[in-house]
């Protein structure tokens, strides 16, 4: 149940899904919205919009529920994908389906004109652009940055500044210009997590998640030896494809220097035990020979992952018949 103080009622989404013959369970909708790559366009966002609508209408409620369900930060037509997802799963009256479809599509165009329902979905969907509380906008900005973390900082800044300029022209909200200047001048703390990652396994992911708590973003650096393996053969799990991933076959120091042009860079390293620490000390000293001021941050993996290594996985995969090794190592790999 979602409480809406303006309508003085509780919104029962499960009842509405059943009423209009929509064959997607609410728990499945929440699962889609709460994908690990969504920091702003998640189900909390949907609940918030439904809590502030001022028109009690099933079509509006369902349109808001589905309008970002196929949100993909890399796609330019997720509104259409979301509208089509709803349409395919709704077996209610055609008039209802068509109206909800049109309401979802209206969110694609900031200048969309229409009836009261169209104006209402546009109002709540873009309400964040009218906020004058800089702290609220900074929280929003942090979440949007996290959703776009696959982009290099320079590229993100350029696109974000352009968006905030357009948003200011649309709303006249001067606080957006303040946010724009903060974004433009911000020096991001960037973790650089280099390795061969052949393959990238759950132990690596454990270190990645720990390090992401310390930095604005963590860039994954995949070292490639082009004489031995092709870049196409480096399997990147879907779980981490929303991160910025760079491939290099040169010196780590070159990649660090490139990243340092756009933020304050810290080399992230994972440790399983004391033997790893000894090895890492050697790597640290070599890098510092060329970059004396370079900072390193070390993270111990959780105990349950300390026995896992890429070489162990490759060894197991190479043994057995008919792919037995591949099957055995699935427990160590990400989807």
Topology (CATH level 3) of domain 188-332: Rossmann fold (3.40.50)
Q: For 2-6, 219-223, 225-229, which range has the lowest pLDDT when averaged over its residues? A: 225-229
Q: What is the pLDDT of residue 333?
A: 84
pLDDT digits (tens, 9 = 90+) for 172-216: 999 999 999 999 999 999 999 999 898 899 999 999 999 999 999
Mean of the pLDDT values across residues 260-264?
A: 94
User: Based on the number of CB atoms within 10 Å of its own CB, is 334 exposed (0-12), middle (13-18) or buried (19 or more)?
Assistant: middle
What is the rounded end-to-end Cα distance, in angstroms, of the chain? 33
Residues above pLDDT 70, as percent of the chain: 95
The phi and psi torsions of 139 (rounded to 5 degrees) equal: -65, -45
For the chain, the structural domain boundaries read 2-125, 130-185, 188-332
236 falls in which pLDDT band (50, 70, 90)?
A: confident
Mean of the pLDDT values across residues 286-307?
A: 93
Cα separation, 36 vs 162, in Å, equals: 27
Q: Is the dihedral of CA 80, 86, 87, 88 positive or negative?
A: positive
Q: For 122-136, 156-170, 230-244, 290-304, which range has the lowest pLDDT when averaged over its residues? A: 230-244
The phi and psi torsions of 181 (rounded to 5 degrees) equal: -70, -35
Q: What is the pLDDT of residue 114?
A: 81
Cβ pair 84, 91 in contact under 8 A: no
How do strand 245-248 and strand 217-223 relate by DSSP bridges? parallel
| Residue 205 neighbours by CB distance under 10 Å | 17
pLDDT digits (tens, 9 = 90+) for 132-174: 999 999 999 999 999 999 999 999 999 999 999 999 999 999 9
Q: What is the pLDDT of residue 149?
A: 95
């Amino acid at each position: 149940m979602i409480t809406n103080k303006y309508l003085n009622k509780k919104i029962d989404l499960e009842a509405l899904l059943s009423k209009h013959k929509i064959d997607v369970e609410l728990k499945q909708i929440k699962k889609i919205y709460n994908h690990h790559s969504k920091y702003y366009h998640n189900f909390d966002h949907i609940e918030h919009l439904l809590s502030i609508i001022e028109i009690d209408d099933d079509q509006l409620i369902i349109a808001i529920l589905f309008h970002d369900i196929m949100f993909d930060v890399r796609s330019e037509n997720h509104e259409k994908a979301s509208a089509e997802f709803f349409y395919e799963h709704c077996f209610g009256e055609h008039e209802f389906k068509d109206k909800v479809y049109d309401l979802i599509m209206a969110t694609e165009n900031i200048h969309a004109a229409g009836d009261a329902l169209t104006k209402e979905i546009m109002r709540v969907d873009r309400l964040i652009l009218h906020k004058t509380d800089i702290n609220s906008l900074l929280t929003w900005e942090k979440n949007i940055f996290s959703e776009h973390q696959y982009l290099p900082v320079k590229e993100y800044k350029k696109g974000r500044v352009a968006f905030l300029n357009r948003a200011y022209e649309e709303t006249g909200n001067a606080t957006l210009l303040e946010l724009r200047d903060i974004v433009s001048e911000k020096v991001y703390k960037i973790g650089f997590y280099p390795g061969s990652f052949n393959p990238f396994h759950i132990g690596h992911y454990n270190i990645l998640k720990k390090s992401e708590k310390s930095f604005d973003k963590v860039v994954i650096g995949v070292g490639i030896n082009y004489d031995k393996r092709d870049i196409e053969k480096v399997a990147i799990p879907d779980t981490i494809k929303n991160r910025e991933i760079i491939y290099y076959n040169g010196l780590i120091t070159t990649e660090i220097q490139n990243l340092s042009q756009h933020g304050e860079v810290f080399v992230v390293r994972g440790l399983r035990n004391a033997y790893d620490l000894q090895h890492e000390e050697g790597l640290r000293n070599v890098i510092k020979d060329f970059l004396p001021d370079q900072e390193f941050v070390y993270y111990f993996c959780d105990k349950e992952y300390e026995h896992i290594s890429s070489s162990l996985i490759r060894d197991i995969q190479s043994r057995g018949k008919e792919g037995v090794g591949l099957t055995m190592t699935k427990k160590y790999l990400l989807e």
